[in-house]
């Protein structure tokens, strides 16, 4: 598996970019999170911990060597995608992502997912990619289905968010399945 990840990936109509850890960039990310707080809160446990732009500086600093990027579309940052919970010994990772609701409906996250998956399987030595989605997160379920991921399991009450235990659906794709229709 690759040890360092590129600072930019270029795809169809989008770019995945790493942002310098500046207060200006932190403000851009904070403003998106703040505008989407109600949309993100049911699915992303960190939403309420982002209270000011400075809270995003450590995230930007940590991105330098991580397989996580911001999604650039029409010269604007509109989301984030990356591989989290990596297992370098088993060559797999889990995709995590979010998208500004104002940018929805344009295929942006699907294109970002395609770009990330292509690099993971073709260039970085991944054998498996997982996606874990709350059963009520209809938009994310749509992305996993459009990407051809296989539903493997229902993980019962496997995470605690907003004071409630929630289920998760586990989807995956193997390198041997990549590129098949």
Domain boundaries of the chain, sorted by first residue: 8-131
What global pTM score does this model have? 0.93
In this predicted structure, what is the pLDDT of residue 3?
A: 72
Neighbours of 152 (CB within 10 A): 11
CA 175 to CA 181: how far, in whole Å? 13
Neighbours of 154 (CB within 10 A): 11
> What average pLDDT does the segment 44-56 reach?
93
Please enumerate in sequence order all residues whose Cβ is within 8 A of that of 144, keeping only pairs 6 or more positions apart, or say none.
131, 133, 171
CA 86 to CA 167: how far, in whole Å? 21
pLDDT averaged over the chain?
94
In this predicted structure, what is the pLDDT of residue 5?
A: 92
> What average pLDDT does the segment 26-35 reach?
97
Query: Is the predicted pLDDT of residue 65 greater than 90, yes or no?
Result: no
Cβ-contact 31, 125 below 8 angstroms: no
Which CATH code for domain 8-131? 3.40.630.30
CA 156 to CA 168: how far, in whole Å? 7
DSSP 8-state assignment for residue 67: S
First to last CA, the chain: 25
Render pLDDT for 76-117 as a digit per residue (tens, 0 to 9): 999 999 999 999 899 999 999 999 999 999 999 999 999 999
How many percent of the chain have pLDDT more than 90? 91
Confidence of residue 181 (pLDDT cuts 50, 70, 90): low
Render pLDDT for 133-170 as a digit per residue (tens, 0 to 9): 999 999 999 999 999 999 999 999 999 999 999 999 99
CA 110 to CA 144: how far, in whole Å? 9
> What average pLDDT does the segment 14-34 reach?
97
């Amino acid at each position: 598996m690759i040890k360092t990840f590129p600072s930019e990936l270029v795809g169809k109509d989008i770019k995945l970019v790493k942002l310098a850890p500046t207060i200006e960039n932190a403000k851009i990310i904070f403003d998106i999170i703040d505008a989407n707080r109600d949309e993100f809160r049911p699915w992303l446990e960190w939403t309420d911990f982002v209270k000011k732009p400075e809270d995003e500086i450590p995230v930007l600093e940590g991105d330098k060597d991580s397989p996580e990027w911001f999604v650039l579309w029409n010269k604007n940052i509109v989301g984030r995608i990356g591989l989290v919970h990596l297992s370098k010994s088993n060559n797999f990772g889990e995709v995590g992502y979010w998208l500004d609701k104002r940018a929805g409906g344009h295929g942006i996250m699907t294109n970002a997912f395609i770009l990330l998956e292509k690099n993971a399987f073709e260039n970085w030595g991944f054998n498996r990619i997982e996606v874990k989605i709350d059963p009520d997160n209809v938009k994310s379920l749509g992305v996993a289905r459009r990407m051809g991921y296989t539903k493997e399991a229902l993980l019962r009450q496997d995470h605690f968010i907003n004071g409630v235990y929630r289920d998760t659906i586990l989807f995956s794709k193997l390198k041997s399945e990549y590129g098949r229709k």
